[in-house]
Amino acid sequence: MNKNSVAVALFSVLLVSAAAAQQDASTVLKPPKGAEVALVVFEDLQCPDCRRANPLVHQAAKTYNIPIVVHDFPLPMHSWAYDAAIMARYFDSQSKQLGSQFRDYIYENQPEITPENLRGYAEKFAQEHKAELPFVLDPQGKLAAEITEEKELGRRVGIEHTPTIYVVSNKRQGKPFVEVVDRSQLFQLIDAMKRGE
């Protein structure tokens, strides 16, 4: 194979990969059924920047009455993020509201949490919310499989950091999603998406 053939083959592979990532993005980055606009967030519960972004994301969702779609994307360098994501998924399975409250609770207490005391924080949360917290949260590995699936989905979409926040819409023309690079622009991006820009 000559250099030109190798270059063409490599370019073709890159083109196919980019097209697949774009297709994954358009499949994932859309509002839940019945919503015109939503926020989609890839987060890591141990990430300090996710903690800082969380109140703003919730404020925007409340202000515009739009849903938040959370995807777990625990980063490998964080020692308790994966376990916290399993716990959040467990509480999600009890009720989405309980799962959301647990995520907020973890962010509020994030600076004090360690791998050794995470379970204690979860037990305290469960007790305060009159919820059960079994000793083994994920005996069949279903919650772990969901997190693995979401991480893989994030990789295919091109997630490189947390939080990665998107404003998404169900419109068929124009750009159906935009990444929030500058969080001070979040409200303006939602306004623009609602106007169909």
Domains of the chain and CATH, by start:
3-195 (3.40.30.10)
- CA–CA distance from 3 to each of 9, 12, 13, 15, 17 (Å)? 10, 14, 15, 18, 21
pTM: 0.84
The pLDDT tens digits of the residues spanning 130-170 come to 999 999 999 999 999 999 999 999 999 999 999 999 999 98
The pLDDT tens digits of the residues spanning 97-124 come to 999 999 999 999 999 999 999 999 999 9
DSSP-derived letter for residue 32 is P
Structure tokens that stand for 171 in this block: 């419109």
